Structure 1
Amino acid sequence: MALLVQKFGGTSVGSIERIEAVAERVIKARQQGHQIVVVVSAMAGDTNRLLGLARQIDEVPTQRELDVLLSAGEQVTIALLAMALNKRGFNAISLIADQVAIRTDNAFNNANIIQVETEKLETLLGEGNIVVVAGFQGRDSENNITTLGRGGSDTTAVAIAGALKADECQIFTDVDGVYSTDPRVVADARRLPSIHFDDMTSMARHGAKVLQLQSVEYANHHKVPLRVLSSFEDGEGTLVNFEPSNTEGAVGVAIKSQQVLTTVAQPLVAVQERLKLFGLAAWCYAGIDDSTYIVTASDDLARLKLALDKVEVAQEHVTTLSVIGVEQADVVEKIAATLAESSLAIYQQQWSARCLSLLIDGQDQQLAVSIIHKQFVVEPESLDNRRLLAVS
């Protein structure tokens, strides 16, 4: 018998019919003899609906009251799922974060989990209950409701799994695993049966969206195996674990789209210090005459303009392709030559021990990803017979 923490996101519980289907999937695991803690998000669209209500009252609502409002979405879902389980004859009980209890710092709208108390969870599991926990929320030291920010339900699930020393934390989503690249971009993308935590962390950091970076880092730190599974079909998914990689070459290509290239008449070091002060993550590189280029998400452009004076947009639509691996300096010329054969330009590149990032025109994204996937994934002999994978 294993102890499993299963997390279902907003699309997985987006309607009564889907909540009923989640109940059946949870019961299937319970019937196999496993102890189950279920963590759920708000129903798809509910968080945005609540945020819209708040902004009808105040365009910039106070952070504390916003957390009180947004945390309500998960409370609806846990109650409905517990009802569905109980109706089927399986004892289930729903808990909000404070009942668990999940303790956080006081960073409203983006809190960090400090501690998950396990006594109540262990008691309820020992009594044979399926425990359904609200994701995305916690309580600070002054008993204020807090929310965990984007991907917060994943983080809740991982934190509970770590505290309970669960055998596995299973993230159920609308895809059936981690793929060799975004299947919406490349039709012959491949599902990966397993991937090392270091590689998954790098890919999440550089744009792969199947798992949120914070939850991957938390799971890695607390040694919690993760498995990505589909909510809508059976399968083994992708296991994120600590087994050494059996490839010496690159292990992933992540994509960051919807980015903008800007420039500012300030030296690189000064820009980096300013961005750090404002908590902005961006790719920066030196231009000419003490100017600096900044690559940032389009959604962060307004914040960038608040942090720096006289920011000018150099190009509105750019994409970053990041090839994750061991020695990326060895492959940069080969990749550049391959893209050049199709008249695809690389504006800028940077690499570290495990990542080569290429800045390209956003309009070239689909063709560039398709070429790299074909040449360096489907036909790995292109890189001295090294086994390569790609992920987005």
Structure 2
Amino acid sequence: MALIVQKYGGTSVGSIERIQAVAERVKRWRDRGHQLVVVVSAMSGETDRLIKLAKQIQPRPDPRELDVLLSTGEQVTIALVSMALTALGCPARSYTGAQVHILTDNVHNKARIRDIDAARVRADLDAGRVVVVAGFQGVNEQGDITTLGRGGSDTSAVAIAAALKADECQIYTDVDGVYTTDPRVEPRARKLDRITFEEMLEMASLGSKVLQIRSVEFAGKYRVPLRVLSSFDEGEGTLITFEDNDVEDAKISGIAFNRDEAKLTILGVPDQPGVAYQILGPIAEANIEVDMIIQNVAPDGKTTDFTFTVHRNDYPQSLEILRKTAHNLGAREVTGDDNIVKISLVGVGMRSHAGIASRMFAALAKEGINIRMISTSEIKISVVVDEKYLELGVRALHAAFGLDRLSS
């Protein structure tokens, strides 16, 4: 008998019919003798609906109250899934994140999980019940409801699997696995049978929407076996592993991209020690994550231009903060651009193969695509380009590296 944690996303529970289909799938697993914990998201579109309601009251909703509001989406789903299981003769019990004490830090809207008290869940499993838990949410030490940010249900599922020492964590979604790139952008994209945690972590951090980055970090840290499957079709999905014996053959595993990028530049900053901190410190204090950074010293050697990227949602606030910083530093100008995207090649095989970057740049140049920024690591190369070139760039790179020829 295995203990399995299954997570179902918003599209998987987007209607009563789909919720009933999830219940039938869960019952099949239980009938095979397995213990099941089911983590669910809000029904598709519900979180966006709630955010719109909040913004009708406050353009920038109070973070604490927004968490209270958003957490109701998952509460609806857990009740309906539990009812559907009970209707099939499968004993089930639902819990909010607070009820199973998913303890988080105090950062509203982007909270991080600190601890989970699994005793209540274990008691129900031992009693023969399926436990249905609300993803995306927790509670801080003050008893306030918190949410984990977009895709947080993945993190909830992996964290619960780690706490329970589950045999496998299965992420059910609207795709049947991890692909070489988004099939909606490149129809010739192929499903990967397996991918390393390191590659999946890069893919998630670079814009792949299949899994949330923190869920992959959790899985890798606590060695939770992780599998991505389809809620609608049977199949083995994609297994995320700790090592891949075929890295010599697979130079590039996939292409990730992120539409949610924005670029900010502060021009004419004094070139002196501590200036980078003076620029990025106030951004960090606003809980805004910075991604790519470029600094160029001016010909006179006395000033520098400093460019960095942030999530597009954080662009207005970042621009406001940077203008204040520019005034304090006596900088010449602040500019910004929220019509950019990031395209990234990912593959552990990069470590043992030279020339990947030059092939990438050549493929983009052939299509007339200008590169605005470049960032590299051991297993990835990222470029920032104008948003209008996203699909063309992805398709060109997919063909240049032969990803359409991988076995499915």
TM-score, L = length of structure 2: 0.87
- Following superposition, the deviation at residue 169 of structure 1 comes to 0.7
Q: 2:396 matched to which residue of 1? A: 371
Determine the structure 1 residue equivalent to 2:343. Answer: 321
Distance in structure 2 (CA, Å) of the matches to 1:296 and 1:140 = 27
Which of 340, 365, 382 is equivalent to 1:340?
365
- Is 2:258 the partner of 1:256? yes
1:211 is matched with 211
In the alignment, the residues of structure 1 paired with residue 60 and residue 191 of structure 2 have an alpha-carbon distance, to the nearest angstrom, of 42
Equivalents in 1 of 2:77, 2:182: separation in Å? 29
Contact persistence 2:189–2:404 (CA under 8 A):
no
Unaligned ranges ≥5, structure 2: 299-303, 324-332
Instruction: Report % sequence identity.
Output: 46
> 1:359 — aligned with what?
384
Partners of 1:62 and 1:277 in 2: CA distance: 18
**Residues 119-198 of structure 1 aligned to structure 2 (within 5 Å):** 119-198=119-198
Letter in 1 for 2:258: K
Distance (whole Å) between structure 2 residues aligned to residue 205 and residue 254 of structure 1: 9
Count of residue pairs brought into register by the alignment: 382
Structure 1 residues 375, 256: CA separation in 2 closer, same or farther (over 3 Å shift)? same
1:251-285, Cα deviation, whole Å (9 max, x unpaired) = 33211224344422136735344433433313121
What is the TM-score of this pair, normalised by structure 1?
0.90
Secondary structure at 1:55 match in 2: helix
Distance 1:212 1:119 in 2: 26
Of the three residues 296, 306, 320, the one matched with 1:292 is 306
The 1:69–1:323 alpha-carbon spacing in structure 2 relative to 1, beyond 3 Å, is same
- What amino acid is the match of 2:393? A
Q: CA distance change for structure 1 residues 261 and 213 in 2, over 3 Å: closer, same or farther?
A: same
Q: Which moved more, 1:341-350 or 1:39-48?
A: 341-350
Matched with 1:225 is 225
Query: Shift of the alpha carbon at 1:323?
Result: 1.5
Q: Distance in 2 between matches of 1:32 and 1:5?
A: 15
What is the deviation of 1:343? 2.7
Distance 1:160 1:53 in 2: 31
Give the 3 Å change call, closer, same or farther, for CA 145–359 of structure 1 in structure 2: closer
One-letter amino acid matched to 2:382: S
1:17 lines up with 2:40 in the alignment: no
Shift of 1:194: 0.9
CA contact (8 A) 2:13 2:22 kept: yes
Deviations along 1:119-141, whole A, 9 cap, x unmatched?
11111111111111111111222
Q: Say what the alpha-carbon RMSD is for the aligned residues.
A: 2.3
Secondary structure of the structure 2 residue equivalent to 1:176: coil
Bigger mean CA deviation after superposition, 119-128 or 63-72? 63-72
For 2:327, the equivalent position in structure 1 comes to none
2:91 matched to which residue of 1?
Answer: 91
Q: Tell me by how many angstroms 1:244 deviates.
A: 3.0
Deviation at 1:372, TM superposition (A): 1.3
2:330 maps to which residue? none
Q: How many Å separate the matches in 2 of 1:79 and 1:264?
A: 50
CA shift in 2, pair 1:253/1:78, >3 Å: same
